[in-house]
Amino acid sequence: MKDLLSRLPKVGRLLESAEWAGIQARCSREQVKAALEAELDLARQAIMAGVRQAPGEEELLLRVEARLGRLLQAGPRRVLNATGVIIHTNLGRSPLAQEAATAAAEAAGYCDLEMDMDSGERGSRHAHVEELLCRLTGAEAALAVNNNAAGVMLALGGVAKGREGIIARGQLVEIGGSFRVPEVMEESGIRLVEVGTTNKTYLEDYQGAISPETGVILRVHPSNFRVVGFQQEVSLAELVALGREHNLPVLDDLGSGTIVDLRAWGIDEPTVQESVAAGADLVCFSGDKMLG
């Protein structure tokens, strides 16, 4: 192993060689050096893991060229979605409509993000979307944050931090990026109280879990899977009525969410308007999936 490690070429000698002059003419010496050091580190790790061959100078040059090529091409690249998944979270989620792309391009420079153009005073960055969201959904107020998980975390912490949150066991889901509802609740300062079973939950399960420590009732829509067959769940309207009876807020996490009823096209997803109309105190949903 020591013999193989000692065979790895020195960075300085390679950078001064004629073979490496071309790549340094295309990229800065600093970039080439950083890429070379990274590849040498990988080679050392491979040798330490049992690989019985050290890369030669020519192979290292090819590896560095490939690494720098990937670096120079960094950033999202246009692809053709042939996966069969209409809204693929790993492929950019919902494509932007041309109107939305044009509006984003116009707002990319100086814009009235936090400026009241009538008074000249500082305004609110939320004003641009709040009124539109309220009009579209029927909500009393609206707030846009970075992502839905952040919205759920902020909402839970805002209404029930340090208290208990009741949720059906079958709704303790994991979404993309390893966001797990139990962990989101924990990070929000909420003590998780599970009710029901994986496939069946009844209103009396929620009723039996309410205590003086209860701070919120949480419902999570399983956007990316379904429990079918022998199953039972409590409707949002029933949860809202229970919450009103005990003066408890009900938070409805719609996940992907949609503001357009797509059932006629075979996409059976609840709408934000339905959650608001049912009386949910807080409704959270993504803005880059069904909404996009």
Most confident of 28-37, 70-79, 157-166: 157-166
Query: Containing H/E element for 89?
Result: none
CATH of 127-284, one of 3.65.10.10, 3.40.640.10, 3.40.50.10490, 3.40.50.300: 3.40.640.10
What counts of helices (H) and strands (E) characterise the chain?
Answer: 12, 7
* Residue 259: predicted pLDDT: 87
Q: According to the model, what pLDDT value does residue 86 have?
A: 80
The tokens for 226 are 């379904």
Residue 43 has pLDDT above 70, yes or no: yes
Q: Does 265 score more than 70 pLDDT?
A: yes
Distance CA 92, CA 79 (A): 10
Asked if pLDDT for residue 177 goes beyond 70, the answer is: no
Q: What is the mean pLDDT of the chain?
A: 90
The domain limits of the chain are: 2-72, 127-284
pLDDT in tens, 190-238: 999 999 998 999 999 999 999 999 999 999 998 767 778 888 999 999 9
Torsion (CA) 17, 18, 19, 23 in degrees, nearest 10:
100
**What's the pLDDT at 35?**
92
Of 163 and 125, the one with more pLDDT: 163
Please say whether the beta carbons of 252 and 276 come within 8 A: no
Please report the pLDDT score of residue 176 as a whole number. Answer: 65
Query: How are the residues of the chain apportioned to helix, strand and coil, as percentages rounded to the nearest 5?
Result: 45, 10, 45
- Residues of the chain with pLDDT > 70: what percent? 97
How much is the pLDDT for 214? 98
pLDDT in tens, 68-109: 988 888 678 889 999 988 888 888 888 888 998 899 899 899
